[in-house]
Structure 1
Amino acid sequence: MFIVSLTYRCELSEIEAHLAAHIEYLEQQYTLGHFLASGRKVPRTGGVILADMPSKEALEAVLAEDPFKQHQLADYDVIEFIPTKTNEALSSIRQTL
């Protein structure tokens, strides 16, 4: 499991210009089962993605397809973690060591 933290490198007007393509990219990744949740940071300085991928390398290949990455609009910080404890609503992502 991975948490991806995006931090914008440009003005929001440039983000807005590529937002439709970014949303289409997100939808594709949800359909493929790669992403579990995503959304904007508050304040709007970037976004966060919760991803379920087999490896960091596989995730980085998927992130390379993001229009925000392709246009160098955001920096990406990837954190791998093992969700060993969750509430019942998230029990499907729970893992054991």
Structure 2
Amino acid sequence: MFVLELSYTAPLEAVDAVLEEHMVWLDGLYEQGVFLASGRKEPRDGGVILAVAADRARIEEITAGDPFVRAGVCAYRVTEFIATKTAPALEGYRETLG
């Protein structure tokens, strides 16, 4: 599982100019089952996405396709973790240490 932290690198006006395209991109990844949760940080200086993928390389490919990245208005920090405990709704994403 991955925590994707977005940090805006441009003024909010530039972020907002690409927001609709970013939302369509998010929707597509939710439909594919890659994204589990997402939202703005408070204060509004970026966002956070909870994601699942086969490996970090796939996540790097996904984040590179974000319209925010392509427009140069955000940077990603990717943290991979092993979800050994989850809420019941996320039980299918639990992993074991091996």
TM over 0.5: yes
Runs of 4 or more off by more than 6 Å in structure 1? none
Unmatched runs of 5 consecutive residues or more in structure 1: none
- Paired letter, 2:19: L
C-alpha separation between the residues in 1 aligned to 2:28 and 2:57? Answer: 19
2:71 alignment counterpart = 71
TM-score by length of 2: 0.94
| RMSD value, Cα | 0.9
C-alpha separation between the residues in 1 aligned to 2:87 and 2:55? Answer: 24
Please show how residues 1-97 of structure 1 align to structure 2 within 5 Å.
1-97=1-97
Percent of aligned positions that are identical? 45
Unmatched runs of 5 consecutive residues or more in structure 2: none
| Displacement after TM superposition at 1:87 (Å) | 2.5
Q: Deviations over 1:5-47 (max 9, x none)?
A: 0000011111110000000000011111111111000110000
Q: How many residues align?
A: 97
